[in-house]
């Protein structure tokens, strides 16, 4: 199981917005439009982000989530040049459809910082060059760069002592709960029961259920259902996917049981969910074409 890979499942920049800004003195930069998630990257100089402690140096990253319940899309944050020095920033803003975005945002704080480092600077400089240039395939290249940078940012952040990853992510290191979590993620379509999951953990059913709920925050089967619905939502977004085929891949004998669970968890039927994705993509494509 690749825990970070599972967290990023379904996350794919498509028409991500970028900007390049030079700050000095009292100048401040704010996000130009509401976005699900924004990466603020320091290309030159130092920046101070408020709210939030400390100064970010070259290669440093600030990730701001504005599409989660924790922060409304109008929640303010400011980026200013530190100590009146000239500072250059590159900003990339995500918009996405699908369940993956909601799962990721629920795992992140409203504002997080990853200290600067040479390993991040190369990709930041490449993004800055693409923002300034008008080359064939520019948007596609920048989208893929942003996906790469997001993955690296979160990987580095989860390694920091002050990071607070989601409970299930931390529980992967537990001797009892970890094996069961990995089994659920690796084989979501298997007919798991509490007893079979406890067998993976090599403990009694009662001990497993108790430990799982204590560490993850929900009972094992509730977590499994949520995970299956997250996967199902991403699979429904794939061209040509049918409800029956998706149901089979996430452990349901037929589309009816999957549809009932999907509507209970997500408040909409699978077909309704897929229709809403199609409509939003159509609107997004029309806006990009108009621009």
A 10 A CB-CB count for 195 gives: 11
Highest mean pLDDT among 12-21, 61-70, 143-152, 207-216: 207-216
pLDDT digits (tens, 9 = 90+) for 223-250: 999 999 988 988 888 888 899 999 999 9
For residues 36 and 73, give the distance between their C-alpha atoms in angstroms, rounded to a whole number: 8
- pLDDT on residue 289: 47
Q: At 35, is the secondary structure helix, strand, or coil?
A: coil
Q: What would the CATH number be for the domain defined by 3-158?
A: 2.60.120.280
Q: What is the mean pLDDT of residues 103-128?
A: 73
65 or 21, greater pLDDT: 21
- pLDDT on residue 7: 77
| Whether the predicted pLDDT of 270 surpasses 70 | yes
State the pairing for strand pair 28-29/78-81.
antiparallel
pLDDT digits (tens, 9 = 90+) for 170-186: 888 899 999 999 999 98
Class of domain 168-275: mainly alpha
Q: Which helix (H) or strand (E) holds 175?
A: none
Ordered by start, the domain boundaries in the chain are 3-158, 168-275
Q: What is the mean pLDDT of residues 150-173?
A: 81
Identical fold for domains 3-158 and 168-275, yes or no, is no
């Amino acid at each position: 199981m690749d825990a970070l890979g599972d967290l990023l499942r379904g996350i794919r920049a498509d028409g991500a917005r970028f900007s390049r800004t030079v700050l000095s003195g009292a100048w401040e930069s704010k996000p130009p439009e509401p976005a699900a998630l924004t990466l603020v990257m320091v290309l030159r100089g130092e920046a101070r982000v408020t709210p939030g402690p400390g100064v970010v140096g070259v290669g440093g990253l600030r990730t701001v989530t504005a599409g989660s319940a924790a922060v409304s899309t109008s929640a303010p944050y400011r980026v200013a040049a530190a100590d009146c020095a000239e500072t250059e920033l590159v900003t990339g803003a995500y918009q996405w459809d699908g369940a993956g975005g909601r799962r990721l945002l629920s795992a992140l704080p409203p504002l997080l910082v990853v200290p600067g480092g040479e390993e991040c600077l190369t990709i930041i400089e490449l993004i800055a060059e693409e923002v300034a240039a008008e080359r064939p395939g520019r948007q596609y290249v920048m989208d893929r760069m942003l996906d790469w940078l997001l993955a690296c940012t979160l990987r580095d952040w989860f390694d920091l002592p002050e990071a607070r990853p989601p409970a299930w992510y931390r529980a992967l290191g537990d001797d009892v709960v970890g094996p069961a979590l990995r089994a659920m993620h690796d084989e979501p379509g298997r007919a798991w029961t509490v007893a079979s999951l406890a067998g993976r953990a090599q403990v009694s059913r009662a001990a497993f259920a108790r430990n799982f709920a204590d560490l993850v925050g929900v009972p094992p089967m509730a977590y499994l259902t949520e995970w299956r619905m997250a996967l199902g939502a991403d699979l429904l977004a794939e061209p040509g996917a049918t409800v029956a085929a998706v149901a089979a891949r996430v452990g349901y004998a037929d589309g009816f049981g999957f549809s009932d669970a999907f509507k209970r968890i997500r408040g909409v039927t699978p077909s309704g969910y897929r229709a809403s994705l199609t409509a939003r993509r159509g609107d997004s494509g029309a806006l990009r074409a108009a621009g």
